[in-house]
């Protein structure tokens, strides 16, 4: 891997982390197109640079994450299912899923079709939950269960949590912001676990590559978050579903 590769992957991560199109899936497919070998370092790199995108959430929502204890409690409840399932499946996901192009493409395709169908029939109710503080603990836990599905690359953590929240009766902007915030403990835990297990085997050059990818994803994610918040004020997620289907089909033809 070179610094150019690191920048490209950082760009992909920053753009895709908070959109319902699967950042992990895009990183795996981009690595495949760049002919990068599926090493332990690459797998860790793809996990670690997500922290850059997460830092953008911390910067933009610093007051919420540090002063609103009601929201923090709900984030903790939502985080629990992913923490348990992610820890239990860590070795399986790292060994068998993170370099499996077939799983990614199938997940992108099926997830895209589901997103299109869901948006066709979903209608937001007038009494939909608007404030983050009003999300119940039960809703938080169920949203966390939806998020845990995203241990499968290509599913999309953002898509899973957003669909879960809309299904439970949350307003579109409310669940999108909750998804942003829920990414913080989720990705901090995932990256921390991976670094504890693998950091000692990395060279100084590899840490430099991680730093470049981290910074790139952070800067780009700042713009991606603002774009999505503006986009959802006038649009549904149908276009993202169509995008997923098109990308899955095109890359299936290219890769296979």
The pLDDT tens digits of the residues spanning 133-187 come to 999 999 999 999 999 998 888 999 999 999 999 999 999 999 999 999 999 998 8
Mean pLDDT of the chain: 90
The pLDDT score that the predictor gives to residue 43 is: 80
Query: 75-79: which pairs have CB atoms within 8 A and are 24 or more residues apart?
Result: 75/140, 75/178, 75/181, 75/182, 75/184, 75/185, 76/185, 77/137, 77/140, 77/141, 77/144, 78/140, 78/141, 78/143, 78/144, 78/147, 78/178, 78/182, 79/144, 79/182, 79/185, 79/186, 79/189
Q: What is the pTM of this model?
A: 0.88
Measured in degrees and rounded to the nearest 5, phi and psi for residue 168 equal -85, 0
- Measured N-to-C along each axis, helices 137-148 and 172-198 cross at an angle, to the nearest 10 degrees, of 50
The pLDDT tens digits of the residues spanning 61-119 come to 999 998 899 999 999 999 999 889 878 887 777 777 777 889 999 999 999 999 999 99
The pLDDT score that the predictor gives to residue 256 is: 66
The pLDDT score that the predictor gives to residue 20 is: 95
The pLDDT tens digits of the residues spanning 25-52 come to 999 899 989 999 878 788 888 888 988 9
- Interatomic CA distance for residues 96 and 49, integer angstroms: 20
Neighbours of 176 (CB within 10 A): 23
- Interatomic CA distance for residues 72 and 66, integer angstroms: 8
The pLDDT score that the predictor gives to residue 255 is: 74
């Amino acid at each position: 891997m070179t610094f150019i590769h690191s920048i490209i992957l950082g760009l992909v991560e920053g753009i895709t982390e908070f959109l319902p199109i699967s950042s992990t899936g895009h990183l795996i497919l981009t690595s495949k197109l760049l002919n990068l070998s599926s090493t332990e370092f690459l797998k860790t790199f793809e996990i670690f640079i997500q922290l850059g995108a997460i830092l953008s959430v911390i910067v933009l929502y610093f007051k919420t994450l540090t002063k609103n204890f009601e929201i923090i409690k709900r984030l903790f409840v939502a985080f629990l299912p992913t923490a348990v399932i992610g820890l239990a499946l860590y070795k399986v996901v790292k060994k068998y899923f993170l370099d499996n192009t077939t799983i990614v493409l199938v997940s992108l395709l099926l997830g895209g079709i589901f997103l299109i169908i869901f948006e066709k029939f979903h209608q937001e109710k007038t009494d939909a939950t608007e404030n983050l503080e009003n999300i119940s603990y039960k809703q938080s836990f169920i949203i966390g269960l939806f998020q845990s599905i995203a241990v499968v690359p290509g599913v999309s953590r953002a898509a899973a949590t957003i669909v879960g929240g809309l299904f439970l009766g949350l307003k579109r902007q409310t669940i999108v912001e909750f998804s942003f915030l829920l990414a913080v403990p989720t990705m901090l835990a995932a990256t921390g676990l991976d670094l504890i297990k693998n950091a000692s085997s990395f060279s100084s050059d590899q840490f430099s590559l991680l730093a470049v990818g981290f910074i790139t994803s952070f800067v780009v994610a700042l713009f991606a978050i603002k774009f999505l918040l503006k986009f959802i004020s006038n649009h549904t997620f149908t276009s993202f579903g169509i995008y997923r289907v098109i990308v899955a089909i095109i890359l299936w033809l290219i890769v296979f």
